Structure 1
Amino acid sequence: MIKYYNRNSKEYEVEKVAGDKYLKWNYSSPVGLTLLEMFIKKKLFSKVYGGYCDSSLSKKKINSFIKEFNIDMNLCEKGQEDFNNFNDFFIRRLKKEARPIDENSNMLISPGDGRLFAYDNIDMDNLVQVKGLTYSLHELIGDKTIADKYNGGLCLVLRLCPTDYHRFHFIDSGICSDSKKVNGDYYSVNPIALEKIPKLYCQNKREWSLFKSENFGDVILVEVGATCVGTIAQTYDPNHVVKKGDEKGYFKFGGSTTIMFIKPNTVKIDEDILRETSLGYETKVVMGETIGKKISI
């Protein structure tokens, strides 16, 4: 059972997990773990399933998915009968008014919908994956010179589950570098998997870029793929000015994760998010929602 904190109701809620029984079996049973290592974590498995989700045959999955997970289609630009396949639905765009953005330049916003962990005063060699399992920023991006500049700063981990809006956006105006691709496996990023696979984020397929933010300095942006995520699509124009809230890209089918690193003495994260992280709970947030404030020096 996965619990997260709803900051609107100030209560804990239980996440309804797509493929819950399959995930538990896959990451806990001897047979499931064998299949995971031999086939499921491989690119071929995600590529084949991604191909199915791109085909017209997958359109029949849409209505049942909407019903099972109570997706509010009133927020979407398209109606549920207007999608060509399941991935078309999965990367659905929302109406602009569905995700209002805090335009105050001093306010840090969430880059997407999901469940957020926030860690301050981080040790670059011991970033928390889950309690008892850590990884390093150097391993994650493969650049120690850049990684060392973020020691003592912030690490924000936003987990997108399959039911979430799967486009991610810029947290501020600025200029973003080209996205650097790092090949890897396709483990699930669900907490069930995070508790079982050491250094999972450093093993999975991922992309990272350096975002020169106008108000929050140089921010490292990382997108991590997962099982059945055959594509991390970057839709922004590298090395050109973007505005706060502009789309950076999207994930195709599957749960995925975005990770941000911010230098020390730049941003103060909201107390409720830090508190829940310290207690081991993610906080549910949506794209454009305020999650922190610039530190005035």
Structure 2
Amino acid sequence: MVKLLKKIVVHSISRRSVVKILDVACSSKMSRVLIKPYIRLYKVNQQEIQHPKYYRSLKDFFVRDISPTLRPIDQGADVVVSPVDGTIADLGFASQDRIILAKNNTYSIAELLCNQTTGEFNGGFYLNIYLSPKNYHRIHMPFGARAIKHKYVPGKVFPVNNLGVSTIKDLFVKNKRTCTIFETQAGFKFALVKVGALGVGKIVSNYQEGEWLPKGAEIGRFEFGSTVILLFQKGMFIPEETLQPNMEIKMGQRIGKFKG
């Protein structure tokens, strides 16, 4: 009965009409009055934000920028950094063309990446990063590379928090998302998937196929709720040994390196 009630709640709040109402409400000037309560409710780090009066709406606050000095980028030549602030939901190595993203729920690599890949990612390392409401929601390049394939997939907007993940089967391939495959100068490939969620009006991508993007460059943002999934080509990436589920990480922080 509890599981059924959870499904009813998740499906109800994820309906297009509800999402549209949320988007309009959070974009209005009147929503500015919600910024201070939002900061208190989600314990947003106030040292990293401007004064609330500088933001036009709650959505404007949510997609806020921060000073680059607050997120130094590890400049090591082979070092790969986190593209976002967030919490590691899951990590590991792909097996038999599948990865485990949460609660022992497995996903096909081909399906997750919108069928843009062959078997080059099978056996590769993956990292699932959940961005909570308190986090900085802009996305940056984890390593200098060229965008060789990019695709947007329309879909649902189920919440990607524990409620959504534990209730909706195959959530990460049902929600709207963008899938981009990058290739480094040395020929190493990695994929970055931006997964939308409840309240996401847009998944913004600030690049095009064929464009070269340096490490640390801002490449997009979420407008409410989100997850980023990184997947690396087999045998080309060495993750940091300290990475583990439920660990908080910051954009620009070292998460591993490519083989030299």
* Residues 1:247 and 1:219: Cα distance change in structure 2 (over 3 Å): same
- TM superposition score normalised by structure 2: 0.92
Contact 1:124 1:137 in 2 (8 A): no
Letter in 2 for 1:84: R
Are 1:123 and 2:95 matched, yes or no? yes
Q: What SS does structure 2 have at the residue aligned with 1:150?
A: coil
Output aligned runs, 1:155-194, within 5 Å: 155-177=126-148, 179-194=150-165
* Residues 1:239 and 1:73: Cα distance change in structure 2 (over 3 Å): farther
State percent identity of aligned pairs: 28
* Residues 1:47 and 1:94: Cα distance change in structure 2 (over 3 Å): same
Give the Cα separation in 1 of the matches to 2:247 and 2:96: 23
Give the Cα separation in 2 of the matches to 1:200 and 1:219: 22
- Residue 73 of structure 2 corresponds to 101
- Gaps spanning 5+ residues in structure 2: where? none
- Residue 231 of structure 2 corresponds to 261
Are 1:293 and 2:257 matched, yes or no? yes
Give the Cα separation in 2 of the matches to 1:132 and 1:218: 26
Give the Cα separation in 2 of the matches to 1:33 and 1:199: 14
Letter in 1 for 2:122: N
Q: What SS does structure 2 have at the residue aligned with 1:210?
A: strand
* Residues 1:237 and 1:141: Cα distance change in structure 2 (over 3 Å): closer
Are 1:212 and 2:176 matched, yes or no? no
Contact 2:98 2:122 in 1 (8 A): no
* Residues 1:58 and 1:216: Cα distance change in structure 2 (over 3 Å): farther
CA-to-aligned-CA distance 1:219-248 (integer Å, 9 cap, x gap): 111100011112111123542222110001
Letter in 2 for 1:40: I
Are 1:112 and 2:84 matched, yes or no? yes
- Residue 227 of structure 1 corresponds to 198
Q: What SS does structure 2 have at the residue aligned with 1:282?
A: coil
Letter in 2 for 1:54: S
Return the match for 1:148 from 94, 119, 132.
119
- Residue 89 of structure 1 corresponds to 61
Contact 1:106 1:215 in 2 (8 A): no
- Residue 22 of structure 2 corresponds to 49
Letter in 2 for 1:50: D
- TM-superposed deviation, 1:192: 2.6
Letter in 2 for 1:228: G
- TM-superposed deviation, 1:118: 5.4
Return the match for 1:244 from 215, 234, 239.
215
CA-to-aligned-CA distance 1:67-117 (integer Å, 9 cap, x gap): 2333223323x3221000001000000001010000112111000000124
Give the Cα separation in 1 of the matches to 2:178 and 2:208: 15
Give the Cα separation in 2 of the matches to 1:215 and 1:74: 39
- Gaps spanning 5+ residues in structure 1: where? 1-26
Give the Cα separation in 2 of the matches to 1:216 and 1:64: 47
- Residue 48 of structure 2 corresponds to 75
Are 1:201 and 2:163 matched, yes or no? no
- TM superposition score normalised by structure 1: 0.81
